[in-house]
Amino acid sequence: MKYKNPVVKGFYPDPSVCKVGDTYYLVCSSFQYFPGVPLFESRDLINWTQIGHCLTRESQVQLRRVNSSGGVFAPTIRHHDGRFYMTTTNDTTHQNFYVWTDDIRGEWSEPIFVDQGGIDPDLYFENGRAFFMSNGMDDEGSSGVVQCELDIETGAKRSPSRTIWQGTGGRYLESPHMYKIDGRYYLMAAEGGTEYGHMVVYARGDSLHGPFESYSANPVLTNRDLGGYELQGVGHGDLVEDGNGHWWMLHLGFRQIGRWLTYHHLGREVFLTPVTFGEDGWFTAGHDGITLTSFNTDRIPDTVVQQEKKVYTFGNTDWNLDWSYLRHPAAENYTLSVDRAVLRGTDVTLDAASSPTFIGLRQKDFDATIACEIELSGGEGEAGLTLYMDENHHYDLALRRGSAGCEAILRLNVGDIKSVERRVALNETRTTKLRIRSGHERYHFFLVQGDREIAMGTAQTRYLSSEVAGGFTGVLIGLYAVGEGTESAFVEFECAYA
């Protein structure tokens, strides 16, 4: 069959995967968004359904005053002795920790902290023992992939932290994962930075603790030299075997907005690439070490059909799965139902590294039409749609009520430049419809009155890209309200992809 990449679209970076029985489970980074660490399942590796989050309580993760792209970094999911474990880093507090559950659809434990620094932690189990790895510095001051043995019940170290591999020389060594395959230990990681030079590298050895011999043809997977190719930034992968002797890599990558336009704003997404072991025990990945927009493979039966959801509404999304808050929300400011979202504003704006009244859905493709109707009531304030990259980079199409009356506005926020591009006075605000048309290179904003569209303006997508804004996230389509006493009801929301 032929499948298309990415297999999970939108801002779902740093994937990690494990297989239990006939089901695959996958987790991704969430940074400053809450709930933390989205959790997916699949039976065929190409159709993924979100079933929860690993971090659903404020007690599990500290996100208050966390800057954009801080907070929860690259997680790893593993299964051992009937229990699931997810380990991750809160990069803002500089703490590695893990949580566990015996019910993949239930609640996860309180965090168990590990006294080892670095980022991108990994757990490996063997013969009743647990080993922890991260990319950082060991107890002797040596940097690289650092390993220690853990008491899995308490998180206490049972051995010193020791550097076991220092990579192949590429910058920003990260994302270490350990596997035992056919009696050998394979240590896979990423280098080059999670940008256009990103790559997957690996080494192998006869001992869990090394020494490790690097694969002679590293990087095993990268799109770094493909100028003008849609898929870029390929790296940070995790291996999984499908039960039929075939190996796969789930990894991140991103789609740039145009062939020669090196910007991406949808975030880093999840890609699936076939892996093949040779007779010598070394493996290769993809098409000559490259990830493609689609793969023809006989590893997945032709009876499997890759599904793609094209329309997202209040009615066909789950507030607890598909939508995200900025940091820890004040629950009393949200009343969410199957066909309506009532948001109560505060004095916290979208420009603050705090928790404004905001709930967002990841933008999953370039071409889309986004629309909703808003009823604005209460005191002075505003409510509307935002295309949100971070507190310094977002485009807001909103209704605003002040002492002089009510108006519709388009505000563009790019770094220190915050400009209201257009204002349209409104006679009444009982129900007003807003619409955004999205393309690869531009967003187009409209106020809708009856059958008439009033153009509010346009804005380039590149100014919401990681190349301009920095950071590791992607655009969320947000509903928001600002202003003490302001209450807004969002009705008939729809995001339809072409």
Active-site residues, by number, are 14, 174
Q: What is the dihedral of CA 390, 395, 401, 402, to 10 degrees?
A: 80
Closest C-alpha to 51, from 360, 361, 307, 320:
320
CA separation for the pair 27, 120 (Å, rounded): 13
Closest C-alpha to 126, from 143, 150, 109:
150
The β-bridge partners of 481 are 357, 383
CA separation for the pair 264, 469 (Å, rounded): 10
Longest CA pairwise span in the chain (Å) = 77
Segment (H or E) for 468: helix 466-469
CA separation for the pair 311, 309 (Å, rounded): 6
Residue whose tokens read 């999911």:
77
CA separation for the pair 184, 171 (Å, rounded): 26
Closest C-alpha to 119, from 148, 104, 97, 99:
97
Q: Is-contact 200 235, C-beta < 8 A?
A: yes
Closest C-alpha to 13, from 100, 93, 72:
72
Q: Which residues of 277-309 are buried (b: 16+ CB within 10 A; e: fewer)?
A: eeeeebbbbbeebbbbeebeeeebeeeeeeeee
